[in-house]
Amino acid sequence: MFQFNFTLQGSTTLPVILFLHGFLGSGEDFAGIVPQFDRFCCLCIDLPGHGKTQVVGDYSLASTAHAIVALLDRLNIPKTVLVGYSLGGRLALLLALQFPDRFPQTILESASPGLKTEAERAIRREQDDKLSDRLTSDFPKFLSEWYDQPLFRSLKQHPNFAAMYQHRLENNPVELAKSLRNLSTGRQSSLWSTLERYEQPLLLMVGERDRKFVSINQEMAARCQTAQLKILVNTGHNLHLEDPQAFTMHINQFLRSIP
């Protein structure tokens, strides 16, 4: 059973944007950019294992997607724009592909449709299971090593990185480890073939310094006829923190361009 912690800013009589954060984050990660969407009601959710959301029992990316739709039903929100970052981007893409009538426009930040082969997924599952063990044994060391990854190099140079890092230390390592295992890319079915048939407006955003995800998103854009790709200069994986002005500008332009 899912008990989502969330914030709603703005009247639900306005169009709604649903923000889905990345691994180690929470709905609060988008607090700095929400004011830039004053034409919308902004819904920010803590994903399982993060923030104040509580989940009884096991869960997966698919069951989390269905639980989010159930939450929207309880809130009497029939449709929302989706904005998903990294882990939240994988979840957003799954929601968009499975429930296109509920999510008419989707924005993905540094996201992917998953791994293409079962062999790749098996390797990733093993890697993430080992990471989850390290996370619970020494969380501060895990966190330090996590942000030493090349895709976060530019983020670490940002003046707000230290405050974000301290906020990450407030997470519950046991719940994070469960999230890392259950929501692992290795346990997600590939969405590549479904993406090719997607017909709704889709905005892909990635930082030019995040070469791995630039390549992934270029292939996504080539496979999906409705996709637009924006590569932000001088940024890495976390666009909404590294360059919030460009991030919100591209989203607003995208939403205004849709009839």
**220/204 Cα distance (integer angstroms):** 8
Tens digits of residue pLDDT in 135-194? 999 999 999 999 999 989 999 999 999 999 999 999 999 999 999 999 999 999 999 999
Q: Residue 259's pLDDT is what?
A: 58
**Residue 201, domain extent:** 2-115+188-256
**119/145 Cα distance (integer angstroms):** 26
**249/256 Cα distance (integer angstroms):** 11
Q: Of 193, 228, 22, give the one whose Cα is nearest residue 114.
A: 193
139 is a domain residue: no
Q: Residue 16's pLDDT is what?
A: 97
159 is a domain residue: no
Put residue 57 in one of left, alpha, beta given phi > 0 → left and psi -120 to 50 → alpha.
left
Residues of the chain under the 50 pLDDT cut: none
Q: Residue 257's pLDDT is what?
A: 80
Q: Residue 258's pLDDT is what?
A: 67
46 is a domain residue: yes
Q: Residue 12's pLDDT is what?
A: 85
120 is a domain residue: no
Distance spanning both ends of the chain, measured CA to CA: 38
141 is a domain residue: no
Total number of domains in the chain: 1
Query: HSE on the CB side for 1, CA within 13 Å?
Result: 1
Residue 64 maps to which CATH number?
3.40.50.1820
pTM of this prediction? Answer: 0.96
- Residues in Cβ contact with 169 at an 8 Å cutoff, skipping those fewer than 6 apart: 139, 140, 143
50 is a domain residue: yes
198 is a domain residue: yes
Q: Residue 1's pLDDT is what?
A: 87
13 is a domain residue: yes
